[in-house]
């Protein structure tokens, strides 16, 4: 399967713990996005990478959140000192410049539950 993959698919953690999610984009895609989706809502933009450079972060991304894409390939999203309000689906998407604007390829998401 050459689509976007995310790991883990599900994560249950206790409040106050740190969690890290991984995203592997489609190999030739140089743009990578993280979104957060809560039940019944559309995805909300968190951050964006072009190659290894993090070019934009949403105000939703508090100081407890950090994202990296060290070699311009896979990306990690870490949440420190998790809170119950962090419970959501975290989606990763990638795109390539020559495709139509807005055509992003999404992974299956990581569902985080904070107890």
As measured in angstroms, the least distance from the Cβ of 103 to another protein is 5
Q: Is 97 strand, coil or helix?
A: coil
- Nearer of residues 14 and 28 to another protein, judged by Cβ: 28
Residues in 8-47 at the binding interface with another protein, rule: CB under 8 A: 31, 33, 35, 40-45
Q: Smallest distance, Å, CB 81 to another protein?
A: 26
Binding to another protein (CB under 8 A) within 52-81 occurs at: 55-56
Shortest Å, Cβ 100 to another protein: 5
CB 20 → another protein: shortest distance, Å? 19
106 is an interface residue for another protein by CB under 8 A: yes
Q: Which is nearer to another protein, 14 or 103 (CB)?
A: 103
Question: Which long-range CB contacts under 8 A does 79-84 form with residues at least 24 apart?
Answer: 79/18, 79/19, 79/20, 79/112, 80/18, 81/16, 81/17, 81/18, 82/13, 82/14, 82/15, 82/16, 82/17, 82/18, 82/19, 82/112, 82/114, 83/15, 83/114, 84/15, 84/114, 84/115
Looking at the Cβ atoms of 14 and 101, the one nearer to another protein is: 101
């Amino acid at each position: 399967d050459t689509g976007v993959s995310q790991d883990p698919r599900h994560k249950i953690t206790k409040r106050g713990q740190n969690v890290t999610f991984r995203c592997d984009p489609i190999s030739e895609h140089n743009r990578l996005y993280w979104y957060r989706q809560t039940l019944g809502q559309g995805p909300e933009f968190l951050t964006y990478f072009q190659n290894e450079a993090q070019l934009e972060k949403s105000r939703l991304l508090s100081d407890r959140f950090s994202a990296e894409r060290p070699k311009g390939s896979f990306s990690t999203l870490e949440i420190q000192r998790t809170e119950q309000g962090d419970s959501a689906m975290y989606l990763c998407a990638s795109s390539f410049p020559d495709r139509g604007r807005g055509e992003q390829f999404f992974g299956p998401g990581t569902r985080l539950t904070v107890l």
